[in-house]
């Protein structure tokens, strides 16, 4: 005997809609208030280290206030010296989550479009973020060379080497910029996995919701003793395999993604030598 499909789930979703709308308004207000506070601190505080430490505290307060509990595992895998952290990218929330999760000595490599976003652009500049042009090859090459010089000066950096994210769960192809940077600087690559941000702030444009967030730091990968171009390729392959092995999402390497100007680091690498 055929049964009629249940309507309890749609009804439950409709019943929760007012609560989700209220939470969205609250989260938006919280984000604005915390964002303005973070910008004021970043503007007033002297020294990059102090500004980054303040940004870390504000990011943690934002997540707590939004009901997003963050668990960080594997911090013992972070080298005490310079390294390049690479992570999967699932949501606009990934940046604040890694700001909260990692020590304040890390800077972020971010798409240049973020530099023109009100409040956010000024704040990111004050905490030493590196902006990379993704579509203008000449400007992208100059940006990539600047990132190489920053890494050569001993700074630790965070990359999202997919360069973008999609509504579909899975790991996209990795661009080469992060790995060429690590290869030229002679520092290890540290793979990392973020979970829960896609559910908390979906790329589909759905309303934000409280969620459990997790960052898992994996063991570092030392640069192999081969020439830099091969070194970067091996680092990319090994880091992506490590992330994919624990991510619990499909391999989307065949998915067509926009060319990131971070890939131009490889093309200007010789200029940095």
Domain hosting 146: range is 17-272
Q: 82-123: per-residue pLDDT in tens?
A: 999 999 999 999 999 999 999 999 999 988 888 778 788 888
Instruction: Work out how many domains the chain is built from and give that number.
Output: 1
Residue 5 lies in a domain: no
In this prediction, residue 37 carries a pLDDT of 92
Asked if pLDDT for residue 269 goes beyond 50, the answer is: no
Domain-embedded: residue 228 = yes
What CA–CA distance (Å, rounded) separates 56 from 102? 8
CATH number of the domain that residue 116 is part of: 3.40.1130
**pLDDT at residue 254 is higher than 80:** no
| 195 lies in some domain | yes
pLDDT at 174 over 70: yes
- In a domain, residue 173? The reply is yes
Residue 219: pLDDT band with limits 50, 70, 90: very high
Q: Is residue 189 part of a domain?
A: yes
Residue 6 forms part of a structural domain: no
Q: Residue 212: inside a domain, yes or no?
A: yes
């Amino acid at each position: 005997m055929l049964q009629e499909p249940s309507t309890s789930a749609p009804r439950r979703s409709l019943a929760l809609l007012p609560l989700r709308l209220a939470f969205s308004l609250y989260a938006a207000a919280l984000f604005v208030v915390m964002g303005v506070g973070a910008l004021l601190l970043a503007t007033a505080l002297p020294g990059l280290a102090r500004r980054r430490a303040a940004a870390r505290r504000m990011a943690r307060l934002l997540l707590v206030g939004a009901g997003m509990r963050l668990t960080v595992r594997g911090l013992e895998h972070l080298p005490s010296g310079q390294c390049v952290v690479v992570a999967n990218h699932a949501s606009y929330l990934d940046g604040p989550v890694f700001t909260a999760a990692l020590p304040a000595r890390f800077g972020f490599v971010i798409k240049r479009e973020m530099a023109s976003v009100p409040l956010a652009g000024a704040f990111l500049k004050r905490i030493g973020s590196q902006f990379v042009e993704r579509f203008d090859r000449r400007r992208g090459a100059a940006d990539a060379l600047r990132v190489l010089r920053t890494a050569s000066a001993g700074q630790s950096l965070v990359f999202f080497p997919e360069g973008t994210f999609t509504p579909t769960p899975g790991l996209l192809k990795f661009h080469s910029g992060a790995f060429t940077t690590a290869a030229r600087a002679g520092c290890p690559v540290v793979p990392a996995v973020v979970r829960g941000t896609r559910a908390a702030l979906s790329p589909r444009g759905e309303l934000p919701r409280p969620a459990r967030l997790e960052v898992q730091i994996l063991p570092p990968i030392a640069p192999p003793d081969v020439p830099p171009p091969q070194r970067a390729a091996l680092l990319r392959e090994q880091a992506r395999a490590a992330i994919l092995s624990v991510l619990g999402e499909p391999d989307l390497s065949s998915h067509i993604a926009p060319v990131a100007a971070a890939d131009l680091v490889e093309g200007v690498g010789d200029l940095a030598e």
